[in-house]
A = this chain, B = another copy of it.
Amino acid sequence: MSPASHGDGDSPGPASASSTTRTGTTYRTGIGASTPDTIFLLGQDLAHDLLGQVGFGELAFWLMAKRRPTPAQRTMFEAVLVALADHGFTPTAIAARLTYTSAPEALQGAVAAGLLGGGSRFLGVTEDAARFLATSLARSSERPGDDAGWDELAAEVVTATRAAGDLVPGLGHPVHKVEDPRTPVLFELARRHGTFGDHLALFAAIGRVHPRILGRTLPLNGAGVCGAVLADLDLPVSVMRGCALLARCAGLLGHLAEEAADPVGMDIYLGVDRNIDYRPPE
């Protein structure tokens, strides 16, 4: 277990944590603190106010946003985590399994190796789409009142992005070339739970208008819609990638539990190692 911060034995609460200060320097936090009798988390009494009363996804949102989600926000947040949890044998899942093959005694290393692939190419779209939508909305003075208005804004945004030689994040998928099955479901869930906001509205409009601007029809991918959903939940862009990492952590643990029970890591390694094309430098 983790030895936690401890105030004076007589202390009534976490306020005393700083009363034990031995130096001029203190370290601000609003997350966790302990006394001999109580563990505080986000200012709540962990044992009596949280255990059995708050869900794990709910707590994760609370920790990242410093704000307890409404039931609707919680449902949408967990839907996004479920959508991003796993995508089969991705590079991150393979890296985690191979690390487990090499060092099975340190599960934390295999999970860490898998999460380290959570960068620009494979988990970044969620964050990129959220930032792109937020920035685009920030540029327009007032919000469109109807689909026609959203289409107009979307057309401006897509045109400007194309003119700059950039790609619109969240458009296109290597496998789901016509439609990403997650996309319509997440849109529908957001409408049903009343969390459908400006980011999703703009993203939907981008889906409608991009074909006539880009000259081809691309699907709105699941990672992009997840970014729009999270942005509509008012989560800071700085932690968007964190949501994807938390989701992926669960997926990686599934892969590692499976690897422990029915290993394929050694076969993956040999499948590469026995098929090298050796081209040494001169």
Interface residues of A, Cβ cutoff 8 Å to B: 1-6, 14-15, 17-18, 20-48, 50-52, 54-57, 59-60, 63-67, 75, 78-79, 81-83, 85-92, 94-95, 98-99, 101-113, 115-123, 125-126, 173-179, 181-182, 184-186, 189, 221-224, 236, 238-239, 241-242, 245-247, 249-251, 253-258, 260-262, 264-265, 267-269, 271-282
Contacts and interface: CB of A to CB of B under 8 A. Distances in A.
A240 B70 CA distance: 30
10 contacts: A21-B275, A25-B267, A29-B258, A30-B280, A43-B281, A105-B120, A106-B108, A242-B253, A245-B253, A246-B253
Given A98-B94, A175-B36, A107 B241 contact: yes
Contact of A254 (B63, B273, B279): B63
A4 B29 CA distance: 26
Contact of A262 (B28, B32, B273): B28
B279 A27 contact: no
Contacts of A42: 254, 280-281
Contact of A116 (B48, B57, B99, B179): B99
How many copies of the chain does the oligomer comprise? 4
B117 A98 contact: yes
Contacts of A179: 37
Contacts of A282: 43
Contact of A29 (B6, B78, B88, B274): B88
